[in-house]
Amino acid sequence: MGASVIVEGLHITAGDQTLVDHLSFAIEPGEVLALIGESGSGKTTTALALMGYARHGCAIAGGSVRIGDIDVLGLSAAGQRALRGRTVSYIAQSAAASFNPSRTIMDQVVEPTRIHSTMPRAEAEAKAVQLFRELALPNPESIGQRYPHQVSGGQLQRLMAAMALITDPELVILDEPTTALDVTTQIEVLRAFRRVVRERRATAVYVSHDLAVVAQMADHILVLRGGQMQEVNSTAQILARPAHEYTQSLLAAARPAPRATEHCKGEGELLLEVRELSAGYGPVNAQGQPAAMILEDINFKLYRGQAVGVIGESGSGKTTLARAVAGLIAPSKGSMLFKGHALRPDLRQRSKEDLRQIQIVFQMADTALNPSQTIERILARPLQFYKGLQGTALQRRIHELLDLVRLPHSVAQRLPGGLSGGQKQRVNLARALAAEPDLILCDEVTSALDTVVGAAVLDLMADLRRELGVSYLFISHDLHTVRAVCDEIIVMQHGRKLDHVARANFDRGPHHPYYELLAASVPELRQGWLEERDRQVSPATESVACAA
């Protein structure tokens, strides 16, 4: 049984800025509280404070945190170190960034028991195997002997949960643990987390911006905005009758609707045709095939003004397809035609006009924007390269681009580090638009954004499509988003195209079983969905669809 958690007047600052503003709440033993809100609302900052921790540059300036009888903020530094990993444990968003690649999984999972001297090594390993089994990991007796790179992302996320639970903590903090996972993997992880938390009667805090996921996990929801509580209530009450206007906006954004764009049915000018495209990575053999073949025999057409979605799990070849079209990876077989002429396979062989007409927007705006360059300089570069703009004309066009993506002109003088995730992704989009392209390749452009910001970016893309006539190849693992944005959907698995679904058939079959599995794996915004889904989609059905 977990402990009670009582937070009173929690106040966290970063210099003169208030991050969490005198926040108070309580969690009963064995309950799950979800913290939801947009990026920058204070969710993770609040969760970390439950361990007595504030990130670099931040300070816990006031208030109290009690876990059971322990006054967390009153502990010495040594006392807080003894608390972390023992009384309270933390499951981070990115397991891949949290594991040491040079040590075996078992060494790392049992490490908390060694640090806190809770049990002998042999007993800890036996308990780890038991947790691997509870978390539905494959080969629980031997998976601990592998290294982190030898397991999938979803498995690594569950292994991090085993590490967090091995000391039987009173409180478990889950910080966006499924955000980076594709939908079918997310279901496996959610199912495992929920079962373990419930069976162990652990008190838990679940940080997320995804209300549909929260609906499957949480007993209560606390809504944060700008570090202030907007409302707190039972999950059922929040979903059915949200009291605060901001909560209502979060719920509205969590229900994707078709964007206001006149959908293209594949008529008019053929913009891009991909024929029997194969591509991969690594050394090429005598037959011209790379060592690791990622794409095999992909065929599709994209017409002017169309938005075509590419859906599939991680590793299905979606991003490799976009990179091949962009010229960032040379195909080993097949051809690509753009406006009727052959696209050179290598970016360096393409004409300036080909480069201008096909632009790519990457998933992580953080790594796609040069942190040492101002936004003005980032946007100026393609305008100078493709359009030869200078002086007043250059400044005017930069301001027009910022207007297009709904950003204030003052942003131009700032560095990327001073912008929010949504603002950076808008700059990423503005940079692509600077070239006035015919086709934009969108690689998971909203997956790292919270629900409200992601919905705003999708609305913006729909407006630009209508106003500028730009076409999109929209890559995602979120089928709800793709259905809201796209005219057609290409379904991919293991590098192959399994299905091609037109908008008119999104909701009516017959479809490939794998498409049906993806559709059934997107959480719905209601309690009990996961239990209902488990009754309708058996593990046998999942395995058949995945093997197909």
pLDDT in tens, 292-348: 888 999 999 999 999 999 998 877 899 899 999 999 999 999 999 999 999 999 999
> How many residues can be counted in the chain?
548
For residue 279, give the nearest of 317, 332, 319, 328 by alpha carbon.
332
| In contact, 30 and 2? CB cutoff 8 Å | yes
Strand 32-36 to 228-234 pairing: unpaired
Summarize pLDDT for 399-445 with one digit per residue, the tens: 999 998 989 999 999 999 888 777 888 899 999 999 999 999 999 88
SS3 assignment for 122-133? HHHHHHHHHHHH
| CA separation for the pair 443, 359 (Å, rounded) | 11
What's the CATH number of domain 29-41+75-253, 3.30.310.50, 3.40.50.300, 3.40.225.10, 3.30.500.10? 3.40.50.300
Provide the pLDDT for residue 480.
81
pLDDT band with cut points at 50, 70 and 90 for residue 66: very high
Residue 540 predicted with pLDDT over 60: no
Helix (H, G, I), strand (E, B) or coil at 323: helix
Q: List the CATH code of the domain at 306-330+348-524.
A: 3.40.50.300
Where in the chain do CATH 3.40.50.300 domains reside? 29-41+75-253, 306-330+348-524
For residue 228, give the nearest of 6, 11, 7 by alpha carbon.
11
Taking each helix axis as running N to C, give the angle between helix 451-468 and helix 421-434, from 0 to 180 degrees, rounded to the nearest 10: 20
| CA separation for the pair 135, 163 (Å, rounded) | 11
Summarize pLDDT for 180-198 with one digit per residue, the tens: 677 888 888 888 888 888 8
